[in-house]
Amino acid sequence: MAYDADNIFARILRGEIPCDKVYEDEHVLAFNDISPKCPVHVLVIPKGEYVSFDDFSAKASEAEIAAFTRAVGEIARAAGVADAGYRLIANAGANGGQEVPHYHVHILGGGPVGPMVCR
């Protein structure tokens, strides 16, 4: 799937629309989800143009992958959810229920997150 440069997270990265930023470094941006599903609901995105985890894992540099992984842990600790626990979700593609086609991880916590999958 080709990257759509008009997706909402690309527009946030370009500063065209605002976000509630919680973290930023050279490779990563994180902000609070606009429609939180838990008391803590942070989205972590790479700054590079990757559609999904599949795309990111195949094409991102070692530096981008390392920065992203380190950032997710740092953001979870800073949000205060590391000790009590939290869930990471990366929806991918149609069957995964991905709505925004720019790779992102959801950090969900601040209380019990509930069953892993409801069908």
Q: Cite the active site residues.
A: 104
Q: 100: which 2 tokens? A: 């925004």
**Among residues 8, 22, 65, 113, which is the contact residue for ligand AMP, using CB under 6 A?**
8
| 97 makes contact with ligand AMP (CB under 6 A) | yes
CA gap 64, 47 in Å, rounded: 9
Distances in whole angstroms, Cα of residue 3 to Cα of each of 27, 45, 54, 99: 17, 14, 13, 13
Asked if residues 3 and 45 have their Cβ atoms less than 8 Å apart, the reply is: no
- Closest approach of ligand AMP to the CB of residue 96, in Å: 8
Q: Which of 7, 100, 110, 113 binds ligand AMP (CB under 6 A)?
A: 100
Q: Residue numbers of the site for ligand AMP (CB under 6 A)?
A: 8, 19, 31, 33-35, 43, 91, 97-100
